[in-house]
Structure 1
Amino acid sequence: MNVSFDKSTLRYSLPNKLLCIDDNRLIPPFEEEENEMGVCSECEGQLFSFTYHNFQDYTAVVCRCVDCSLLRIILFDPAWEWVGEYPVSIIDDVSQTSANSVERNSISDIGNIAAIKLETVFSPREIEAMIQKSKGENYVRQYLYNARKKYSLFNELFGYSLEI
Structure 2
Amino acid sequence: MRIQHSVLAVIVALSGCASTAPAPATAPTAQSAEINPAGDIPDDTVFVTYRAPDGAYEVKVPEGWARTDQSTGASFTDKLNSVRIETKASTAAPTESSIRAEVPGAQDAVVDTVRRSGGTAVRIVYRADSAPDPVTGKVVRDEVERYEFYSTGTEAILTLSGPVGADNVDPWRTVSESFAWKR
TM over 0.5: same fold?
Answer: no
Larger Rg: 2
Q: TM-score, structure 1 length as denominator?
A: 0.28
Give the structure with the higher percent helix.
Answer: 1
Q: Which has the higher contact order (CA 8 A, sep 6+)?
A: 2
Q: TM-score, structure 2 length as denominator?
A: 0.26
